[in-house]
Amino acid sequence: MKKKHGEVKTSPKPTSVRPAGRRTYFLQGERALSVKGNQLMCLLSADNQNPDLNSKRCATYHDNNRRGEHHGFYYNGVRQYGFLNMTNDIGLHEWSHYCHNFHHGEYRAYIHGELAASGPFSVPHKVPLPVKGIITIGQEQDLLAGGYDTDQSFRGHIAQVNIWNRSLSPEEVRVQAGCTKAPIGNIFSTDREAVELLGGATMELVEHSYFCRKAVEYVIFPEARYMAQSRLTCNRIGYEVYTPHNRADNILLHQESLRFAEKCLSNYHLWIGVTDQEEEDVWRKFTDNSIAETQFELNEPNGGTGENCMLMFLPNGLWVDTSCVIRWPACVPCEVDRTSPLRLRGFCFSNEAETFYEVLGYRGEKPYLHGYYGFMVYRSGNYTWEMFDTTVGEVVGILDVPSKDSYPIGRHTWTLRRSMCNNLIGSRIPLSFSICDNDEFTCANGDCIPKERRCNAKDDCSDLSDEEDCQFIILPKGYRSERPPDNETEGLAINLASAVRVLRFMEISDIRRVINVEFTVEITWNDPRPKYYNLGDTLEWNKLSNADRGKVWTVKLLFPNVYDGNIKLLSEDLYLSKIAGPMPPDYNNVRMVHNGEACRPAREEGEFCVCSGVGEHAATVT
C-alpha cells in the first residue's frame, strides 16, 4: 500500500481469508526507507488468553531520534524509559524485521530475529482492548483519529504487521524474520484484515521471499574517463565499479548503456569491474574480490598478463580484456553500496540523517543525488546543478561547475535561492558532498583524509587542498582584543605562566653595576573565548599569522629597569598549545574544532637584546 503523508486504517474484523505464509501485502511509500529504530510492529501479550479482556495497550515513542539514544515507548499511557543500547543504523531500500514482545512486565525487542533489548517495564493497570477498535499505521495521531502532522508521517514500506495475544518464543521470532511461511497474528494482521487506504497509499501483493531478496543496483556515469578516474568516480560516492552477476544481468546492463552510447565515445564504451591482476585468467570483482562469471567476446581474453582490466563491446555487450592503464576513455557503471552514504555538510540540520544522500537514477541525462529527507540535487543546465526541496517545492541553491562532466562531489561554493541557516537569499556559502565520516576532512575533490592531517604542513590531499585556508582562530561576536580573559575564579586576575631562558651575557660591569644580556621569554595563558581550528600536536604547526595576532588579546611585556629604555626585540611569535582533544564532531561542519579550554596561547618573545645604546647589543640593567 503506498502511503503519502496519509494513513492506513485497518479494522480487526476479518473480511477475507487467504492461505497464510505464501504471499503477503505491504504498504509502499514514496521511497523505500527502512525505518531503523522506530517501531513498526507491536506484539502484545496478555496475562489472559482472552483477547477481549485485560489486554494491555502499547504505543511507541522515539523522540525523533533515529539512532536510539532516547528509545522508549508508552505502555498503558505511562512512558517507559531505558533501553538506551537499542540502536540500529538507518538503511535505505532494505527490509528490516522488528518484533516487540510484552509479557508479564518484561519487554523484549528483536531486530532481524535477534534480541536487541530487554528489560522490565512498569505495569500500572490492565486496560481492555476492544476488538472493534481502529489501528492507524504509518501516522501518529495527536488527537483521536486526527491531529496529523506530515513530519510525523512514515514514508516507506510496511508489511506483516501482526498482533498476538501471547508471547512469541525466540525461535518463532526467527521464523517470522526469515522470509518463510509463518503464522499470522491471531488478534490482528495486515495480511488478513480489511484495510482502508488513505492519503494516496497503495497495496501490493508479493511472495514472502521478496523481503529477503537482495537486489544489486547500479548507476552509469555517462562520461568517458580512463580506468583509474572511472574507479575514483565510483569510490568518491561510496560505490565500486559494477560487474554483472550473470548473462541476464549483463544483457540488462548493455541495454541500459545504449542510451549513453554517443557520450561514451567508442565501440568499447563501458568499463567492467573485474581484474585478473592477482591471478592470470581468474577474474575477480572489484566489489568483494569474488570470482566473476565472465561474458567474453569471441577470441577473448587475449592480452595475457599485460591486460588485466575489462571493457564492454558496444555492438553485442560482450567483454574484452585491456590494459588497466590504457589511455582509452569509457563510461562506468557504479554498483550501489549504501553502507557509506554521501553527506551534505555546510547547513544546520538538527538530525544527522538529514545530511545523508544517495545517487539514484537520471535527470538531465546525469545521475542525481537524492536526500533521505526530500532534497534532490540534479543538473539543470550544461554547467549548472540545482538543489531542490521536494517537501515544499522550492529551489534551495544552484552551483556553477567548470565543465559538462563535473559533479557537485567535493567542496564547492553554492548560491542560495532561499534563506538557509541565517544565510540570506543570494548568499554564497561553501557546501560539500562526500562520504567522509565526521572524524575525516573532505578534500576539495571529495577525497577523505583523517582530520589530524589537516594543516600539518604536508600535502595529504591529492589536490593539495588540505593545506589551504589553515585558519586557527574564530572569534566570537563581541570579542575585544584589548580585554583580557576572565579568571575561572571570579574577581581574580588571570594566571600567567612564564619562563625566561638566558642565552648569553655579553657584558658584566661590577663598576657600573649593569649587565648586557640576551634572553628569551615565554608566557602562556588561557583564553577560552575563541574557537580554535586545525590544531596540530606539534607547537610549531600552530603558529598564528601576523593578521591573527592582531585580533586577539596578548600579554604586553615591559622592562622598567632597562637603562635608557634601550631594548631590541629580535623576534616575536604567538603559538597555540593544544592541551585537550577536539570538541565532538559536528556533522554539519567539515572542520575540527577545539573549544577555548582545549588550547593555551603561548607567546614567545623571541630573543631580546637588551642594549645600552653604546653598542648594538648592549644595555644597562640595574
Chain segment 563-591, per-residue pLDDT in tens: 776 778 888 888 888 877 777 778 888 65
214 Cβ contact partners less than 8 Å away, ≥ 6 residues apart: none
DSSP 163: E
Residues 309 and 321 sit within 8 Å (Cβ to Cβ): yes
Three-class SS of residue 4? coil
Mean predicted confidence (pLDDT) in 314-337: 96
Structure confidence at residue 336 (pLDDT): 93
pLDDT category at 16 given cuts 50, 70, 90 is very low
Residues 523 and 608 sit within 8 Å (Cβ to Cβ): no
Three-class SS of residue 404? coil
Element housing 367 (H / E): strand 366-371
Average confidence score pLDDT of the chain = 80
| Spatial separation of the C-alpha atoms in residues 171 and 186, rounded to whole Å | 18
- Measured from the Cβ of residue 53, the count of other Cβ atoms closer than 10 Å reads 12
| Domain residue ranges in the chain | 2-212, 218-335, 342-435, 497-610
Q: What is the pLDDT of residues 399-429, one digit of tens each?
A: 999 999 999 999 999 999 999 999 999 999 9
Structure confidence at residue 474 (pLDDT): 82
CATH domain 218-335 topology: Mannose-Binding Protein A; Chain A (3.10.100)
Closest CA to 97 of 208, 215, 216: 208
Mean predicted confidence (pLDDT) in 264-290: 95
Q: What is the pLDDT of residues 229-256, one digit of tens each?
A: 999 999 999 999 999 999 999 999 999 9
Which residues are paired to 2 by β-bridges?
A: 28
Mean predicted confidence (pLDDT) in 524-541: 82
Mean predicted confidence (pLDDT) in 164-193: 88
Structure confidence at residue 62 (pLDDT): 36
Exposure of 308 by Cβ count < 10 A (0-12 exposed, 13-18 middle, 19+ buried)? buried
106 Cβ contact partners less than 8 Å away, ≥ 6 residues apart: 118, 119, 120, 121
Is the model's pLDDT at 178 over the cut of 60?
yes
Structure confidence at residue 555 (pLDDT): 85
The highest-confidence range among 2-16, 87-101, 394-408, 539-553, by mean pLDDT, is 394-408
- The backbone torsions φ and ψ at residue 364, rounded to the nearest 5 degrees and listed phi first, read 65, 30
Structure confidence at residue 423 (pLDDT): 93
For the chain, the distance separating the N- and C-terminal CA atoms, rounded to the nearest angstrom, is: 93
Element housing 170 (H / E): helix 170-177
Is the model's pLDDT at 35 over the cut of 50?
no
Structure confidence at residue 543 (pLDDT): 84
Is the model's pLDDT at 362 over the cut of 80?
yes
**What percentage of the chain exceeds 70 in pLDDT?**
80
- The backbone torsions φ and ψ at residue 61, rounded to the nearest 5 degrees and listed phi first, read -145, 140
Structure confidence at residue 490 (pLDDT): 82
Sheet containing 106-111: which strands, arranged edge to edge?
Answer: 98-103, 106-111, 114-120
DSSP 405-454: T--S-EEEEEEESS-BTTBPTT-EEEEEEE---TTEEE-TTS-EEEGGGT
Structure confidence at residue 562 (pLDDT): 79
DSSP 54: S
Structure confidence at residue 4 (pLDDT): 34
| Spatial separation of the C-alpha atoms in residues 40 and 109, rounded to whole Å | 12
DSSP 532-583: EES--SSGGGGBPPHHHHTTS-------TTBGGG-EEE---EEEEEE-S-PP
| Spatial separation of the C-alpha atoms in residues 442 and 448, rounded to whole Å | 5
Is the model's pLDDT at 536 over the cut of 90?
no
**What percentage of the chain exceeds 90 in pLDDT?**
37
DSSP 542: G
Which residues are paired to 576 by β-bridges?
A: 601
The CATH code belonging to domain 2-212 is 2.60.120.200
